[in-house]
Amino acid sequence: MDISRDGIKQAVIEAGSSDEEFFHFPVNENGLYLQQDPDEYADFVHYMATQARPSKFSLDIGVASGGQTKFLRDYYPIEKTIVLDIGEHEAFRHWARIKPSVKTKFVLELIMDSHSKEARKALLPYQGQIDFTFIDGDHSYKGLMQDIELAKEIVKKGCIFVLHDTGAVPDCVRVFNELQKDPDFELSANFDSRFGISVWKYLAINGPKTGWRKKLSKLRG
Ligand SMILES: C[S@@+](CC[C@H](N)C(=O)[O-])C[C@H]1O[C@@H](n2cnc3c(N)ncnc32)[C@H](O)[C@@H]1O
């Protein structure tokens, strides 16, 4: 396997997009239906493969075809994974085919709204275990903030947060700008040649706005 940045870009193109007109590389009928820019995504995957510590447990919010979930794990080791997606994207029909080829152990597959009480309830037992999260679900300001808050409740201190579209979708850009001022987050890397893939370290200075940590800090005054 060629793990050079250009080798990864070539593999992205061969894996295929979900829409040639929009993503500027062809669809491969039996491919991954990626919703990524080849240069930007290759830069990101190369960074993860060469600079980031491997992950023991990931939470992926917004997987669509699951092609990105698979592609990343071919280069960046992730032992266990939870996926959470509402299952309404046109590309979601490819997930059942792609899932068996993903190099990880799937611990939980939640096909539901990430903002539902059920999703939070299903995730809470994994509190303190997640060290990597890729968030690419609801792209509204409120929706993305809710996903970040949800993840904050269950991740470990030091968790790597990856947010997609933080350079292109205005609501996601707003989130990006706010996180830069948030003591809970430190920007580790930013790949922003088209959509924006930002990589953050979760410092857990203030912690989540809801949940047991918050309740505990209130009790302590
Ligand atoms: C842009 S696509 C994800 C693309 C994928 N990460 C990739 O790189 O190929 C966004 C996904 O988020 C899902 N989604 C949107 N809102 C959601 C929500 N509230 N809860 C769960 N999933 C959601 C959509 O169904 C879709 O599959």
CATH number at residue 88: 3.40.50.150
Q: Per-residue pLDDT for 212 more than 80? A: no
Domain of residue 23: give its range: 5-220
Domain count, the chain: 1
Q: What is the DSSP letter of 167?
A: T
Residue 211 pLDDT: 59
Which of 2, 32, 40, 36 lies closest to 15 in space, CA to CA?
32
Ligand 1 cavity residues, CB under 6 Å? 34-36, 62-65, 67-68, 84-86, 88-89, 92, 113-115, 136-138, 143
For a pocket test of ligand 1, which of 12, 138, 145 has the largest count of ligand atoms closer than 8 A to its C-beta? 138
User: What distance in angstroms lies between residue 21's CA and the mean position of ligand 1's atoms?
Assistant: 20
Cα dist from 149 to 24, 137, 155, 210, 217, whole Å: 33, 13, 10, 8, 17
Residue 1 pLDDT: 87
Residue 216 pLDDT: 56
Q: What is the mean pLDDT of the chain?
A: 95
Residue 202 pLDDT: 98
The tens digit of pLDDT for each residue in 117-148 reads: 999 999 999 999 999 999 999 999 999 999 99
